[in-house]
């Protein structure tokens, strides 16, 4: 019965997505919904993009192992990312009327930086989408009682998302996000109330969490703890800013006000609502103490699904898996679309810069979605067994060290040059790789923080030194209101 209802739900969301796909007439419709989304849809689609498998399964597992200090990257860093985008980036980027975030790098620094940053951004999505695909495999494996293997579950899940994303792009993603977020919020709230009653009241759950020191957020006052806490915090907080999926939501807004306020509200709601899955998994420690203790040693990610499957009635199971699938599908559809649009607009177009029509671009975007979906599925199957939280958090170190600094300095420092951007990307990624491959270094200092500091050094030094690489985009600079640097 439960599996049948979940399958029915998948077909309903596919139908809604295909209905929304009727609005897609050109690449702008496919990539940014023709810039027609009202604020309430910006809020829901922004919230939905972040609220994926890691927040329902990964974050509660990390929380129960080490408390709030263990989940500083997500939800706190991830939610703050959206708030920072709304406050410092949304208005500036919205006024430029660009199709992708990589278009900004081309306008500001030229083709070489555009291509490099596009590749960096695309690469980062492998880990994030794989986390959603991994969760889909786990869901179908649990629902079928092990009859459907995790790899086959991954395949079924990818196909269910691919159908409407392939045809409807951002329109389908935004409309299905809106429906799925209603299901997600209602489902998890009802579950939390039910679990609270089973545990003897919310006060008992909170008392248990307090007694285990799970609400401890700040690190120990030592250099090592503080610097690694800071490094973890900025991974998603800053590394997710130069990302196409975030940029798409900004650019899909109907007005600048919707772009700014929608992302801030979406990010704030994300942080607030992330406590619901954490509350649920803390309830499990009271409701099923023996099973929880065993699962914490085996796989903490299974604590919450086991609580629902073993201790709750069918209606609660339907609500949970409906909410979980809503979270996963909304996140996965957005992150399948983003790298595909980036590839088409910023890499493939390089080979056909003049005579490619909008119809051909739209077809190429759809083919890119298909190819990326296959690549993600293969990668997910290969990475089976990797914790969902780790897949997500590690994905954002690459854009953090490679794309964040050129974006920020390009927007807020008029003297930033193409040469400075090249130095920033090269030094940021180079230092990050050196730290990552050297155990003594990354155990003493966070590799992502070392990469960011190196990128900032490269940008400042490269821009202030005599310009061996001339800025070829001066005309574009004038168009977007950037003064040409003294050089």
Q: Residue 474: how many CA atoms within 13 Å on its side-chain side?
A: 8
The label of the residue with tokens 């080490």 reads: 66
Which whole number is the average pLDDT over 189-204? 92
pLDDT reading at 473 higher than 70:
no
Which whole number is the average pLDDT over 3-18? 82
pLDDT reading at 317 higher than 50:
yes
Find out whether the peptide bond into 70 is cis, omega within 30 degrees of 0. Answer: no
Model confidence at 192, in pLDDT bands (50, 70, 90)? very high
Q: Which of 108-117, 151-160, 325-334 has the lowest mean pLDDT?
A: 325-334
pLDDT reading at 411 higher than 80:
yes
Q: Which of 149-158, 173-182, 216-225, 351-360 has the lowest mean pLDDT?
A: 351-360
Which whole number is the average pLDDT over 342-360? 78
Model confidence at 429, in pLDDT bands (50, 70, 90)? very high
State the pLDDT at residue 480: 43
Which whole number is the average pLDDT over 337-342? 85
Which of 95-104, 353-362, 397-406 is predicted most confidently?
397-406
Start-end of H helices in 244-313: 244-251, 256-273, 275-287, 289-298, 303-311
Mean pLDDT, rounded, of the chain: 86
- Torsion, CA 105, CA 106, CA 110, CA 116, rounded to 10: 60
pLDDT reading at 423 higher than 90:
yes
Residues in the chain: 487
Whether 466 contacts 487, CB under 8 Å: yes
pLDDT reading at 137 higher than 90:
no
SS (H, E, C) 414-435: CCCCHHHHHHHHHHHHHHHHHH
Whether 450 contacts 427, CB under 8 Å: no
Q: Which of 125-134, 148-157, 330-339, 468-477 has the lowest mean pLDDT?
A: 468-477
pLDDT reading at 388 higher than 70:
no
State the pLDDT at residue 475: 38
pLDDT reading at 185 higher than 90:
no
Which of 116-125, 334-343, 386-395 is predicted most confidently?
116-125
Helix, strand and coil in the chain, % to nearest 5: 80, 0, 20
| The two three-digit tokens of residue 236, written as one number | 């998603």
Which whole number is the average pLDDT over 58-82? 89
State the pLDDT at residue 354: 64
Whether 138 contacts 301, CB under 8 Å: yes
């Amino acid at each position: 019965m439960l599996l049948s209802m979940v399958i029915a739900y998948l077909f309903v969301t596919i139908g809604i997505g295909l209905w929304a796909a009727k609005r897609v007439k050109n690449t702008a419709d496919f990539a940014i919904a023709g810039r027609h989304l009202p604020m309430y849809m910006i809020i829901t689609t922004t919230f939905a993009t972040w609220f994926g498998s890691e927040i329902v399964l990964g974050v509660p597992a990390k929380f129960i192992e080490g408390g709030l200090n263990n989940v500083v990257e997500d939800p706190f860093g991830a939610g703050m990312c959206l708030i920072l985008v709304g406050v410092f980036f949304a208005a500036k980027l919205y006024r430029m009327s660009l199709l992708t975030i990589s278009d900004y790098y081309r306008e500001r620094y030229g083709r070489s930086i555009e291509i490099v940053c596009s590749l960096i951004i695309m690469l980062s999505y492998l880990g994030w989408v794989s986390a959603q695909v991994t969760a889909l495999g786990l869901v179908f494996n649990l629902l079928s009682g092990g009859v459907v293997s995790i790899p086959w579950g991954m395949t079924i899940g990818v196909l269910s998302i691919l159908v409407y994303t392939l045809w409807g792009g951002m329109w389908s993603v935004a409309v299905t996000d809106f429906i799925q977020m209603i299901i997600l919020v209602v489902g998890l709230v009802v579950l939390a109330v039910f679990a609270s009653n089973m545990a003897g009241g919310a006060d008992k759950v909170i008392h248990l969490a307090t007694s285990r020191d799970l609400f401890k957020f700040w690190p120990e006052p030592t250099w090592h703890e503080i610097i690694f806490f800071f490094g973890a915090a900025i991974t998603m907080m800053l590394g997710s800013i130069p990302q196409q999926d975030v940029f798409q939501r900004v650019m899909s807004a109907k007005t600048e006000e919707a772009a700014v306020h929608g992302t801030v509200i979406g990010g704030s709601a994300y942080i607030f609502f992330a406590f619901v899955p954490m509350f649920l998994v803390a309830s499990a420690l009271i409701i099923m103490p023996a099973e929880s203790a065993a699962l914490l040693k085996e796989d903490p990610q299974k604590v919450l699904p086991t609580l629902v499957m073993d201790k709750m009635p069918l209606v609660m199971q339907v609500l949970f898996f409906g909410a979980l699938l809503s979270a996963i599908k909304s996140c996965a559809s957005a992150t399948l679309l983003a790298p595909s649009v980036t590839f088409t607009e910023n890499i493939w177009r390089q080979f056909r810069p003049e005579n490619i029509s909008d119809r051909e671009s739209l077809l190429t975007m759809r083919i890119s979605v298909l190819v990326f979906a296959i690549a993600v599925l293969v990668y997910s199957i290969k990475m089976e067994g990797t914790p969902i939280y780790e897949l997500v958090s590690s994905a954002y170190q690459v854009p953090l060290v490679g794309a964040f600094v050129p974006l920020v300095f390009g927007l807020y420092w008029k003297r930033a040059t193409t040469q400075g951007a090249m130095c920033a990307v090269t030094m940021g990624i180079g230092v990050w790789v050196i730290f990552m491959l050297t155990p003594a270094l990354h155990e003493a200092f966070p590799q992502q923080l070392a990469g960011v500091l190196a990128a900032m050094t490269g940008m400042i030094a490269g821009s202030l030194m005599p310009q061996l690489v001339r800025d070829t985009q001066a005309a574009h600079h004038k168009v977007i209101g950037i003064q040409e640097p003294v050089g």
